[in-house]
Amino acid sequence: MDFREASARFKQRQKGQEEQAQPAPNPAEAYRIRGKMIGVLLRDARLHAARSVEECANLLKVTPHDVEAWELGESVPSLPQLELLAYYLGVPISHFWGTDTLEATQGRHVDIQTEYMALRDRMVGALLRQAREDAGLTVEALAEASAVAADDIRRYEVGESPAPMHELSVMAGVLKKSLSYFLESSGHIGNWLAIREEWKHFSSLPDDLRQFAAKPVNIGFIEIALMLSQMPTEKLRRIGESVLDITR
């Protein structure tokens, strides 16, 4: 027996000993670990959405104890239950079979709520003051027209206190501004609100228009319509006249 053959046999024997030393896979343990991970991801999504155990339980018509057991990995929800939870908590269903938590990647919404609200109150106040000044009104004039106390308006404009929705709506009417003027127009929340508004308008279209717009093959027609909508009126008139000349 030469050196190479002896070395090969030694390596083969060593490999066999290592394989024998490794424990056999334990399916029960694998299921337990995966159940624990689903529980961690569920709790993470619930806290990120600032929902309570009771709210999630009411959604699914189960007991709060059931939801707590899921989060602890003592039991595991079904796929339909996770689908409803994904919708309710605002996460993709794939979140529950991943490994990354929202807290680690994005931070919790509840942690930034206070800061966000204070910033938005100041922004709304600044827009209110800008609209009032553009309209050429004093605080006292706006107060008289809207029946909102002048001192309250001053606090709203500097962000010291939030403007209640019903008062903001009346003041917006006096200033000839729509409520969309005060909405957040950028950032994650602003984009989400804009998409929801666009979807609401799209859903209200007649069925035939919705079905036409939803078909990818019709994208070209929509792009043409978009280009036409952005053309100057005079150019559109010339195009219309040209079309009439062709069809005569």
pLDDT tens profile 16-42: 555 555 555 678 888 888 889 999 999
Q: Tokens 């624990």 map to which residue?
A: 36
Per-residue pLDDT tens for 67-78? 999 999 999 999
Q: Which residue has the higher pLDDT, 60 or 12?
A: 60
| Fold matches, 27-105 and 109-182 | yes
Residue ranges of domains in the chain? 27-105, 109-182, 208-248
- Supply the CATH classification number for the domain 27-105: 1.10.260.40
Segment (H or E) for 241: helix 233-247
Decide if pLDDT at 144 tops 60: yes
Rg from Cα positions in the chain? 31
| CATH tag for 109-182 (out of 1.10.260.40, 3.40.50.300, 3.40.462.40, 3.90.1140.10) | 1.10.260.40
Taking the whole predicted model, whether its pTM rises above 0.85 is answered as no
> What is the distance of C-alpha 202 from the center of its chain?
18
